[in-house]
Amino acid sequence: MAKKIVFGNFKGGVGKTTNSVMVAYELAKKGFKVLVCDLDPQANSTQLLIRTYGLQNNQELVIQKTMMVAIQEKNIKPAIVNIMPNLDLLPSHKDFVDYPDFLELTFLPNTPNYKEERMAFFTKLLQPIENQYDYIIFDVPPTLSIFTGTALYSSDFIVIVLQTQQRSLDGAEAFWEYLQTLYNEYDAIDFDIAGVLPVLLKNDSGIDNQIIKDASDSFGDDMIFTTIIKHMERLKRYDRKGISEEGYTSVYDFHDRKVHELYNQLADEIINRTNSED
Ligand SMILES: Nc1ncnc2c1ncn2[C@@H]1O[C@H](COP(=O)(O)OP(=O)(O)OP(=O)(O)O)[C@@H](O)[C@H]1O
Ligand SMILES: [Mg+2]
Kindly give the distance from the C-alpha atom of residue 13 to the centroid of ligand 2, in angstroms, as a whole number. 7
Neighbours of ion ligand 2 (CB under 5 A): 16-17, 44
Measured CA to CA, the distance from residue 88 to residue 136 in angstroms comes to: 9
pLDDT over threshold 70, residue 44: yes
pLDDT of residue 160: 98
Half-sphere exposure of 156 (CA within 13 A, CB side): 17
pLDDT of residue 133: 98
Q: Which atom of ligand 1 is the closest one to the Cα of 238?
A: 31
202 lines ligand 1 (CB under 6 A): no
pLDDT over threshold 70, residue 237: yes
For CA atoms 117, 63, 41, 12, give the dihedral sign: positive
Supply the CATH classification number for the domain 3-275: 3.40.50.300
H or E element in which residue 215 lies: helix 206-219
Contact 45, 36 (CB under 8 A): yes
Tell me if residue 258 falls in helix, strand or coil: helix
Q: Note the pLDDT tens digit of each residue in 248-263.
A: 988 899 999 999 999 9
Measured CA to CA, the distance from residue 106 to residue 88 in angstroms comes to: 28
pLDDT of residue 121: 98
Kindly give the distance from the C-alpha atom of residue 132 to the centroid of ligand 2, in angstroms, as a whole number. 25
Nearest ligand, CA of residue 243?
1
Measured CA to CA, the distance from residue 67 to residue 199 in angstroms comes to: 30
**Which parts of 60-185 fold into alpha helices (H)?**
67-72, 99-106, 114-130, 146-154, 166-185
- Between 203 and 127, name the one with better pLDDT: 127
Nearest ligand, CA of residue 161?
1
197 lines ligand 1 (CB under 6 A): no
pLDDT of residue 203: 86
Measured CA to CA, the distance from residue 35 to residue 28 in angstroms comes to: 9
Beta strand 87-90 pairing with 81-84: antiparallel
pLDDT of residue 206: 82
pLDDT over threshold 70, residue 7: yes
Query: How far does Cα 191 stand from its chain's mean position?
Result: 15
Measured CA to CA, the distance from residue 136 to residue 87 in angstroms comes to: 10
DSSP state of 97: G
Give the residue extent of every domain in the chain: 3-275
Of all protein residues, the one whose alpha carbon is nearest to atom 29 of ligand 1 is 236
pLDDT over threshold 60, residue 278: no
pLDDT band at residue 277 using 50, 70 and 90 as cut-offs: low
pLDDT band at residue 18 using 50, 70 and 90 as cut-offs: very high
pLDDT over threshold 80, residue 43: yes
Query: For all residues of the chain together, what is the average pLDDT?
Result: 96
Once rounded to an integer, what is the mean pLDDT over residues 61-69? 95
Q: Identify which of 81, 187, 96 has the alpha carbon closest to the alpha carbon of residue 146.
A: 96
Q: Note the pLDDT tens digit of each residue in 73-126.
A: 999 999 999 999 999 999 999 999 999 999 999 999 999 999 999 999 999 999
Q: Identify which of 273, 277, 278, 276 has the alpha carbon closest to the alpha carbon of residue 7.
A: 273
Kindly give the distance from the C-alpha atom of residue 278 to the centroid of ligand 2, in angstroms, as a whole number. 30
Measured CA to CA, the distance from residue 36 to residue 44 in angstroms comes to: 12
Residues in the chain: 278
Nearest ligand, CA of residue 21?
1
The C-alpha torsion from 116 through 119 and 121 to 125, rounded to 10°, is -140
Q: Note the pLDDT tens digit of each residue in 167-202.
A: 999 999 999 999 999 999 999 999 999 999 999 998
164 lines ligand 1 (CB under 6 A): no
Measured CA to CA, the distance from residue 18 to residue 16 in angstroms comes to: 6
